[in-house]
Amino acid sequence: MSFQLHMQCHKQPDVVERILRVIRHRGFTLNSMSMAPSNCGEKIELSMSVSSLRPAHLLTTQVEKLHDVVALRCLDTASNHAAISY
Amino acid sequence: MNGAEAIVQTLVHHGVDTVFGYPGGTIMPVYDALLDSPIEHLLCRHEQGAGFSAIGYARSSHRTGVCIATSGPGATNLITALADAMMDSVPIVAITGQVPTNAIGTDAFQEIDILGLSMACTKHSFLVTEPDMLCQTLHQAFTLANSGRPGPVLVDIPKDIQQAPASWHPPLDLVTNGFTPDKAAYENLHKAQELMLSASRPIAYIGGGVNMAHATDELRHFLQVTGLPSVCTLKGLGTVNPDNEGYLGMLGMHGNRAANTAVQGCDLLIVVGARFDDRVTGKLDTFAPDAKVIHIDIDPAEVHKRRAANVVFHQPMQWVMKELSSALPVNEWLCHCQRLKAEHQWQYDKPGEDIYAPHLLNQLSRKLPDNAIISCDVGQHQMWVAQHMAFHHTRNHLTSGGLGTMGFGLPAAIGAAIARPGDTVTLVSGDGSFMMNVQELNTIRRRQLPIKIILLDNQKLGMVRQWQELFYEGRYSETDLSDNPDFITLANAFGIGGRTITHRDEVTSALDEMLSVNGPWLLHIRIDAMENVWPLVPPGASNHEMLEKRS
């Protein structure tokens, strides 16, 4: 299964590293990623495509716990419907 | 005021009375500031010891443990303790010195990227790069360590930030702890109550999260009102009063057969502050196969992770327990569980003259007051403690549950002795684990802490040897510890008295002697090298497939 993750994060130097670590450790593969500043440079918007045999919520609940992740939305790539959203 | 003084002032603000640590180059300004502060610093003999002492302090007292180390090796030596705290949800604030800001990234002496290293073993970690952010970052660290599911937070502070002018201020953001249940919460309550009323074989499966949520009283009231039978995880031991008539003991790999049998046969699991750990469930898809699940846990990531739940609560556990406390028609099922409990009582009538560790631990448990603290290491003795000792509160049982860290017990006992100086602290260790942080005997000497040490010595890495016997065709690889030091001489070298016993008829007098000594004491107990922990659910097996001792 492939999922699209859209996140808003505090602009901290380590936030992307933390998210990527969780994706790897929880058994998901990163396929693509893009990043852009938002909120006058105080936040960043991250979009990622990830895939795994595991259900999306096993990743999203872990990513959501990261201190600098403000909001997360998860879409099923095939249907473009919300798989998990917060 | 400089940064280091602001750090100390912030610790005082958060009620920290003791910190555990080891000084070094980049943390020297903090150590200088500590000299003039009301905070006691306990010098441990290894940073890992400082980390575990902070854990023992936190777990035994429900306060935040604080440990301090220098950069580089000081910081990396904290990592195992941070991982332990992460797995067992213990609120720790670790403060590390870092090389000066302009030296970061230059491979300076004793420089390591501890922020990067700590990502997998902390709730969060900070690198302070501006003096103005120092106080607020530390306030955040204390808030984070204790919020939601507790855990360790690391704050890495470069030396120049510690030396720079700084001003102290209280936390800038107000934290509101109010809780107002919404419509969805009440709907969930209704669903849970329906499940509980329609179940004929419900059981409560209780983990360490209950104590973390300060909900022990509410949980006990819930069990009393509902009449539900209950089982506990390793970390949950002490949550249910051991005298509770429906309490069946620990479940899982080395759990009581009554506990595992009841859980396997139940039709409703009420999971409170637990996470379906693999050591609890055995083969997951055969765990409690007929059960619906009500899962109460503050951490959304633990729900539906290993077992789907029918009803989920993330609300404060105290509120959920109170709202679900209604009498249930479970008398017949409770009687069945009580029969199981009677049928599978532990037996201590092992023939022979050698010392039977389970019986000794049970005897010790009966001699200790209800508020005594037991700290243990990891291995066979850890499981015997869980099986054969009674705990009246989770804070009295210090054990490395999630990470399973050998070397945990001695420094954790030190932290507990500092946190609760009026209570008896006993370390139960094995000859393998004891040697992993044996340097902390000097920390005992430094403070003359009256810690009693039970050292169960089988001259083996017992649990690994047991698995080699059972699952590796008796091919014993590197589990022989017959070259152990003379433990009494070793203790004496640290100013600690002790005695060795080898026969069963020495046990009572040796335990009495140990408990009557005012200071620290080592009771060295030689036990059978081939003794195993029973019962045992073999790896990959279901919990109803427990192995018993071979005749």
Cα B112-B118-B122 angle, rounded to 5 deg = 155
Residue that has been written with the tokens 């009375």 in this structure? B17
**B215 found inside a domain:** yes
State whether residue A21 sits within 8 Å of chain B by CB: yes
- Does B420 contact A at CB distance below 8 Å? no
Q: Are residues B29 and B95 in the same domain?
A: yes
B125, B301, B303: residue with CB nearest A65: B301
pLDDT at site B174: 57
Cα–Cα distance measured from residue B412 to residue B49, given in angstroms and rounded to the nearest whole number: 8
CB-based contact, A54 to chain B, within 8 Å: no
**Chain A contact for B530, CB < 8 A?**
no
What CATH number is given to the structural domain containing A76?
A: 3.30.70.260
Q: Does B453 score more than 50 pLDDT?
A: yes
Helix axes B47-61, B409-419, angle to 10 degrees: 50
Find the closest chain B residue to A25 by CA distance: B120
SS3 of residue B250 by DSSP: strand
Instruction: Please give the positions of B annotated as active site.
Output: 47, 109-110, 159, 463
Whole-number pLDDT of residue B408:
98
Nearest to A12 by CA among A46, A43, A35, A36: A43
Owning domain of residue B433: 357-526
Say which DSSP state B24 is in.
Answer: -
Size of interface A-B (CB pairs under 8 A): 28
Whether the Cβ atoms of residue B378 and residue B427 lie closer than 8 Å to each other: no
| Residues in chain A closer than 8 A to B119 (CB atoms) | 14, 17-18, 21
- Classify the C-alpha dihedral B270-B273-B275-B278 as positive or negative: negative
Q: Is the pLDDT of residue B176 over 70?
A: no
Q: How far is CA B28 from CA B35, B141, B358, in A?
A: 11, 21, 47
Query: Is residue B111 domain-resident?
Result: yes
**pLDDT band with cut points at 50, 70 and 90 for residue B170:** confident
What one-character DSSP code corresponds to residue B176? Answer: P
What per-residue confidence (pLDDT) applies to A81?
Answer: 66
| Order of all β-strands in the sheet with B292-296 | B247-250, B230-232, B202-206, B268-272, B292-296, B311-313
Residues B440, B212, B289, B253, Cα dihedral to 10°: 10
Other beta carbons within 10 Å of B8: 24
Residues B358 and B387: beta-carbon distance below 8 Å: yes
Q: Is residue B176 part of a domain?
A: no
pLDDT of residue A86: 39
Q: Indicate whether B487 and B378 sit together in one domain.
A: yes
Residue range B87-95: mean pLDDT, rounded? 98
Is residue B525 helix, strand or coil?
strand
Q: What are phi and psi of B111, to 5 degrees?
A: -100, 130
| Distance, CA of B122 to CA of B522 (rounded, Å) | 34
The answer to whether residue B173 scores a pLDDT higher than 80 is no
Question: Smallest Cα–Cα separation from B228: which of B248, B257, B252?
Answer: B248
B312 and B214 part of one domain: yes
Going residue by residue through chain A (86 aa), what tens digit of pLDDT does each one get?
Answer: 899 999 999 999 999 999 999 999 999 999 999 999 998 989 999 999 999 999 999 999 999 999 999 999 999 877 766 665 43
B17 phi and psi angles, rounded to 5 deg: -105, -20
* Cβ contacts of B304 on chain A, cutoff 8 Å: 57
For residue A22 the two structure tokens come to 């969780």
B55 and B200 within one domain? no
Which tens digits make up the pLDDT trace of B397-443?
999 999 999 999 999 999 999 999 999 999 999 999 999 999 999 99
Residue B215 scores a pLDDT above 80: yes
Chain B environment of A59 (Cβ under 8 Å): none
Residues B86-103, mean pLDDT to the nearest whole number: 98
Domains in chain B, number: 3
Claim to verify: residue B517 and residue B415 sit in the same structural domain: yes
Phi first, then psi, for residue B537 (nearest 5°) are -90, 115
Who wins on pLDDT, A21 or B184?
A: A21
CA B5 to chain centre: 32
What type of residue is B259?
A: A
> Token pair for residue A55?
């259900």
Residue B45 lies in a domain: yes
For residues B64 and B42, the answer to whether their CB atoms sit within 8 Å is no
**Chain B closest-CA separation from residue A32 CA (Å):** 22
At residue B548, the pLDDT reads 87
Asked, for residue B105, whether it belongs to a domain, the answer is yes
Average pLDDT, chain B: 96
* Contact (CB, 8 A) for B55 and B85: yes
> CATH number, domain at B510?
3.40.50.970
Give me the pLDDT at residue B180, please: 87
What does the pLDDT average to over B126-145?
97
Model confidence pLDDT, tens digit, residues B328-386 = 999 999 999 999 999 999 999 999 999 999 999 999 999 999 999 999 999 999 999 99
For residue B269, the 8-state DSSP code is E
User: Is the peptide bond between B23 and the residue preceding it cis, with omega within 30 degrees of 0?
Assistant: no
Is B351 contained in some domain? no
- Pair B193, B326 in one domain: yes
Contact, B239 vs B211, CB < 8 A? Answer: yes
Pick the last residue of a domain from B312, B343, B374: B343
Distance of alpha carbon B506 from alpha carbon B525, whole angstroms: 10
- Residue the block writes with tokens 């200088």: B32
- Indicate whether B112 and B197 sit together in one domain: no
Interchain pair B116, A14: CB under 8 A: yes
* Percentage above 90 pLDDT, chain B: 96
- Report the C-alpha gap between B221 and B225 in whole angstroms: 6
Domain containing A54: what range?
2-85
Q: Are residues B375 and B415 in the same domain?
A: yes
In a domain, B545, yes or no: no
Q: Provide the pLDDT for residue A77.
A: 72
Query: For chain A, give me the number of helices (H) and strands (E)?
Result: 2, 5
- Looking at the structure, do residues B420 and B275 belong to the same domain, yes or no? no
Interface predicted TM-score (ipTM) over 0.85? yes
Q: Which of B49-53, B55-59, B298-302, B547-551 has the lowest mean pLDDT?
A: B547-551
Whether A65 sits inside 8 A of B304 (CB atoms) is: no
Interchain CB contact of A64 with B (< 8 Å):
yes
Residue B177, pLDDT > 70, answer no
CB contact under 8 A, B299 and A65: yes
Query: Rounded to 10 degrees, what is the CA torsion of B486, B491, B493, B498?
Result: -90
Task: Compute CA B542 distance to the chain's CA centroid, rounded to the nearest angstrom.
Answer: 25
Q: Is residue B29 part of a domain?
A: yes
User: Which residues on B lie below 8 Å from A61 (Cβ)?
Assistant: 300-301, 303, 305
Ramachandran angles phi, psi of B247, nearest 5° = -85, 125
Residue B461 sits in the same domain as residue B407:
yes
Residues in chain A within 8 Å Cβ distance of B104: none
Total tally of structural domains belonging to chain A:
1
State which of B113, B129, B163 marks the end of a domain. Answer: B163
A58, A64, A65 ranked by CB distance to B305: nearest: A58
Q: Tell me the percentage of chain B whose pLDDT exceeds 70.
A: 99
Q: Do residues B12 and B130 both lie within one domain?
A: yes
Asked if residue B213 and residue B94 are part of one domain, the reply reads: no
| Residue A59 phi, psi dihedral angles, 5° rounding | -95, -45
